[in-house]
Chains A and B, each alone.
Chain A
Amino acid sequence: MQFENPFGVAEIIELGGSAAVVLLMVGVAAVLGFRMSARIDDSELARLAEADGARVDSAVISQNGRAAFARLSDGRVMVARVMGADVSARFAAAKAVSLNVKAQRLNATFADVGFPPLKMRIDDSPAWLNDFSGGGGST
């Protein structure tokens, strides 16, 4: 059985043309100003938590309002981040979160391959964040 290269000249031209068109459309979107527009505040966090049947116990929101880390009433944590015009929320058991807070920078990693690490600048570092330092919350 012989392997044939499926990419001939026609395919290369097609893919090159498609890539150019993709760049064109993304460029048009950028020129039209379709950029990060959502911001996270306490009410948005409350709405996201409520949608998952929980309440926000404590939360820190990044300085630019694009990310947040919250402890929920049921002991879980919620991570929120702006995704364009919407906000992405992810819920996790406290033990699955590892937090590192240094000089107003919060870094969180998750035992979940689908969710990228969270990095955000915060104004102050409330004491409850210490529960998550080095992995695993107190609950």
Chain B
Amino acid sequence: MTPPQAPFEIPPIITYAVPAFVLLIIIEMIVVKLTKKGRYEYRDSATSLTMGLGNRVFGIMFGGFALLAYFAVYEFRLFNLGWTWPVMVACFFAEDLAYYWFHRIAHERRFFWASHIVHHSSQHYNLTTALRQTWTGTLGLTFIFWLPLVYIGFPPLMVVLFSGISLVYQFWIHTELINRMGPLEWVLNTPSHHRVHHATNARYLDANYAGVLIIWDRLFGTFVAENDEEKPHYGIVSQLGTFNPFRVAFHEWLGIWRDVTSAKKFSHVFGYAFGPPGWSPDGSRKTSASIKAEWAARHGAPAPSPAYALSTNADEGGKTAAGEGAGAP
């Protein structure tokens, strides 16, 4: 079978968007300076932007592997969908759904969290945070979540196109300057929804995984609205405490390595690598689920509902309790 050709040259969406990114970041800095709403710190921004630059370096080095995998799987596609407008509309929704599940599993399984934690490691939330991207995405196999799309028959370059559009869309929602957006909040992922996603407050953990459309979170029960009475605190549960890009990029991989090499049973190896972040054989470390349960117990409230799925028991629920070492609580 000959793959259907794209009827137009696929634009390098992200490359084209970079000048707008730069302009918007500088505008946001000036607005933050003038209004005192939102926060910046130059070293934090330097780290975020360096991570973005490094992401591009690693993308040049290894990104081709993901594309090769797409084309390899595409050889076995179920349908010849081709490049038509209805297929493109379907691909937009399918890509966004694939992103939702990639993102959710990236928070709920430590192997994938080791790459994604980079994006959450800033304690600030501004447009430079959007560019704080992993260096180990391809090596960490994150592309596998899009393989079902090309297996179904969406052309690989169409999937790449909509992945790029999704990433560009997600840039502008990393800001504290925009509050709520009325009815759009029902359908789209907005700054408000994404602030919740980046927050470490117990009530906000493991929520709002959407890329473009928030409907997936509403559908799968992981949606949490921003509460005006509880300001988000950003970062990860075990804050890094460093601006060093290399620590940011690799600390969780080193944590996995140390845990796996000191494991006494194969089941422990599996748990450390593929269990929820914070998993430990004796339950001495904290997972999102245990953090939420403790929070609920302290506040006499039912535990927040999202993101208990994909866990084998209530003590091994969620994401974000990353970087827990031997001395972690």
A-to-B contact residues, CB < 8 Å: 6-7, 11, 14-15, 18-19, 21-22, 24-26, 28-30, 32-37, 51-53, 76, 79, 81, 83-86, 88-93, 95-97, 110-116
- Supposing A15-B57, A84-B123, A85-B41 touch, asked if A21 and B22 sit within 8 A by C-beta, the answer is yes
Question: What are the 9 closest A-B residue pairs judged by CB atoms, nearest first?
Answer: A96-B327, A84-B41, A112-B325, A114-B323, A88-B239, A29-B42, A34-B40, A86-B123, A92-B327
Name the residue on B nearest A113 (C-beta): B254
Instruction: Please name 8 pairs of A and B residues whose Cβ atoms are closer than 8 Å in the assembled complex, sorted by A.
Output: A18-B53, A29-B41, A53-B298, A83-B241, A84-B39, A92-B329, A114-B251, A115-B242
Tell me, yes or no, whether B268 is within 8 Å of chain A by CB.
Answer: no
Q: Give the docked Cα–Cα distance between A18 and B255 (Å).
A: 31
Name the residue on B nearest A98 (C-beta): B327
Contacting pair B33 A26 (CB below 8 A): no
Interface string of B198-228 (1 = CB under 8 A from A): 0000000000000000000000000000000
Beta-carbon contacts under 8 Å, B262-317 to A: 294-295, 298
Contacting pair A86 B235 (CB below 8 A): yes
Interface residue SS majority, chain B: helix
- Residues of chain A within 8 A of B240, CB atoms compared: 88, 114-115
- Supposing A32-B33, A88-B239 touch, asked if A83 and B326 sit within 8 A by C-beta, the answer is no
Name the residue on A nearest B325 (C-beta): A112
Contacting pair A93 B328 (CB below 8 A): yes
Q: Give the docked Cα–Cα distance between A32 and B34 (Å).
A: 10
Interface size on B, residues (CB 8 A): 56
Q: Give the docked Cα–Cα distance between A21 and B49 (Å).
A: 9
Beta-carbon contacts under 8 Å, B56-99 to A: 56-57, 60-61, 64
Partner of A35, one of B18, B41, B52: B41
Contacting pair A92 B328 (CB below 8 A): yes
Partner of B235, one of A28, A88, A92: A88
Q: Give the docked Cα–Cα distance between A116 and B49 (Å).
A: 21
Interface string of B98-114 (1 = CB under 8 A from A): 00000000000000000
Name the residue on A nearest B326 (C-beta): A111
- Residues of chain A within 8 A of B235, CB atoms compared: 86, 88
- Supposing A111-B325, A114-B247 touch, asked if A32 and B45 sit within 8 A by C-beta, the answer is no
Q: Give the docked Cα–Cα distance between A84 and B237 (Å).
A: 17
Which of B23-31, B148-156, B157-165 forms contacts with chain A? Answer: B23-31
* Residue among B18, B242, B252, B327 having the largest count of chain A Cβ atoms under 10 Å: B327
Contacting pair A34 B41 (CB below 8 A): yes
Name the residue on B nearest A52 (C-beta): B329
Name the residue on B nearest A11 (C-beta): B60
Contacting pair A30 B124 (CB below 8 A): no
- Given contacts A25-B128, A114-B255, 5 further A-B pairs with CB under 8 A are A32-B33, A35-B41, A52-B329, A86-B233, A111-B325
- Residues of chain A within 8 A of B234, CB atoms compared: 86
Tell me, yes or no, whether B43 is within 8 Å of chain A by CB.
Answer: yes
Partner of A34, one of B45, B61, B298: B45
Contacting pair B61 A96 (CB below 8 A): no
- Residues of chain B within 8 A of A113, CB atoms compared: 251, 254-255, 258, 323, 325
Tell me, yes or no, whether B170 is within 8 Å of chain A by CB.
Answer: no
Shortest Cβ distance from residue A91 to the other chain B in the assembled complex, whole angstroms: 5
* Residue among B15, B242, B328 having the largest count of chain A Cβ atoms under 10 Å: B328
Contacting pair A22 B50 (CB below 8 A): yes
Contacting pair A96 B123 (CB below 8 A): no
Shortest Cβ distance from residue A50 to the other chain B in the assembled complex, whole angstroms: 9
Contacting pair B329 A93 (CB below 8 A): yes
Shortest Cβ distance from residue B41 to the other chain A in the assembled complex, whole angstroms: 3
Name the residue on B nearest A30 (C-beta): B42
Tell me, yes or no, whether B138 is within 8 Å of chain A by CB.
Answer: no
